[in-house]
Amino acid sequence: MTLSIGPQHSGSGHMRIVVVVDGDIIVYADPDVGYVHRGEEKMSESRSFVQNVPHIERPVIHDSSGILYSYCLAVEELLGIQIPQRGQYLYVIMAEIDRINYTLYWLAILGIFLGHSTNVYVAYR
């Protein structure tokens, strides 16, 4: 019998496990990482550039500006748009704040994996 277990959160990403069982014995297990976010590109085809912004941020919640920054740069280049210098500064500031946030998130998750839950409170404080 083939079972699909998940999707579940495996610490820092989404996945499912496809398990083949023979009675009570697991014969084969295949982790399918990124299962939840399949089809992002296909869903983006039917939306405008602006409608894709919250949609593109969703798969990478803890580093949303990193993926959104590259998307916005690509759209600006395709449309031939030059944003003001203030907007460029805001891009960089947002990316740096998000980088710090992502690093603290990684530190908190590492503490959980190592069995040290105090690390979560220190990182998020």
**Cα distances (Å, whole numbers) of residue 90 to 50, 65, 107:** 18, 11, 26
**96's tokens:** 């740096």
DSSP single-letter state for residue 113 = H
Strand residues in 11-102 grouped as ranges (E): 14-22, 25-33
**Per-residue pLDDT, 11:** 54
Question: Model-level pTM?
Answer: 0.59
Residue 79, both tokens? 């449309």
For 65-76, the pLDDT digits (tens) are 888 888 888 999
